[in-house]
Structure 1
Amino acid sequence: MQIDRIDRHLLRLLQEDAARPVSVLAEAAGISVSACRRRIDRLEAGGVIAARRVALDLRALGFEVQVFLRVTLDKTEPRAFDAFIAEARRIANVQSIETLLGRVDIRMDVVARDLGHYQQIYQERILALPHIADIEALMLVSELKNSEALAI
């Protein structure tokens, strides 16, 4: 799919505010509303725009603790990855699960209301996950930059 200067401009604007009306986007890009709509539809159909999201403030919703877990699995078990991931996906407080190449196999982000709540999740749910050989917890102290925006 060809992406031109106007498409890139629209993508930058949508990254800033995905709910921005098409009329505002069209004006900012210097094109008609119908041309803008067609471009956005083409970018969505082509998979360039994968989704439009609402960003929630975890702290405003009462989640004060965020922990990044680095998990190494017991690779002697042939289905270790599949079994671990299937169970980890069922934990509501796990926000993301990523597989990695290297010493660590899995990275997970866990959110909790407070330290007591995190400890409960960790002891009752995380440690019950299958095939864990090692686990390291890194607690978020402060977030200095968090952007899903791509420099285009």
Structure 2
Amino acid sequence: MQLDEIDRKLLRILQDDSRKSVQELGDAVGLSPSACHRRLRALEERRLIAGYHALLNPGALGFSMQFFIEVGLISQSEAALDAFEAAVRDIPEVLECHLMAGQSDYILRVVCRDHDDFERVHRRLSARLPGVARIHSNMSIRTVKARTGLPI
């Protein structure tokens, strides 16, 4: 997909701070507010901008623990994958779920408030997710790098 330097600069700025006004964005890339607005609309229509979100502080909200959980399924049939994926979407503590190629079928990123909360979530994963053969949990000690943006 072709992007010119103005588009790339707009996307980089928005990744760092999506609260900037169209006026501020236009000033930063050398466009009038109306021209900047048209550029943003075009980027949204081309689905290069998927949405605008607030980045919340998990620790400040009481989510002091983060886990990466590898899940192996009994079967890798399309029906088994669909059933697992539908069920995992209903667990709010699962922030991400990735279908993998390799040793595990899925890797989940899960947040919990404390050890008791993790036990509850782990039981829910084990008992309620269909077709689970094994679960291997890895606790994150500290986030070294977390970036929500892409290297544009």
Q: TM-score range by the shorter chain?
A: over 0.9
SS at match of 2:151: coil
Alignment map for 1:78-97 (pairs within 5 Å): 79-97=79-97
With normalisation by structure 2, the TM-score equals 0.93
Q: Deviations over 1:103-148 (max 9, x none)?
A: 211111111110111112212x111122111211010100011002
**Are residues 1:26 and 2:26 paired?**
yes
Q: CA RMSD in A?
A: 1.4
Q: Deviations over 1:55-87 (max 9, x none)?
A: 011111001111111101111766221121221
4+ long deviations beyond 2 Å: 76-79
Q: Deviations over 1:11-43 (max 9, x none)?
A: 111111011111011111111111111000000
Structure 2 counterpart of 1:7: 7
Distance between the aligned counterparts of 1:52 and 1:59, measured in 2? Answer: 22
Identity rate, percent: 39
What stretches of structure 1 of length at least 5 have no aligned partner?
Answer: none
Distance between the aligned counterparts of 1:49 and 1:32, measured in 2? Answer: 20
Change over 3 Å in CA distance of 1:80–1:151 after alignment to 2: same
Change over 3 Å in CA distance of 1:3–1:63 after alignment to 2: same
Distance between the aligned counterparts of 2:68 and 2:19, measured in 1? Answer: 30
Alignment map for 1:2-151 (pairs within 5 Å): 2-75=2-75, 79-123=79-123, 125-128=124-127, 129-151=129-151
When the two structures are aligned, how many residues end up with a matched partner? 151
Quick check: 1:77–1:131 contact (8 Å CA) kept in 2?
no
What stretches of structure 2 of length at least 5 have no aligned partner?
Answer: none
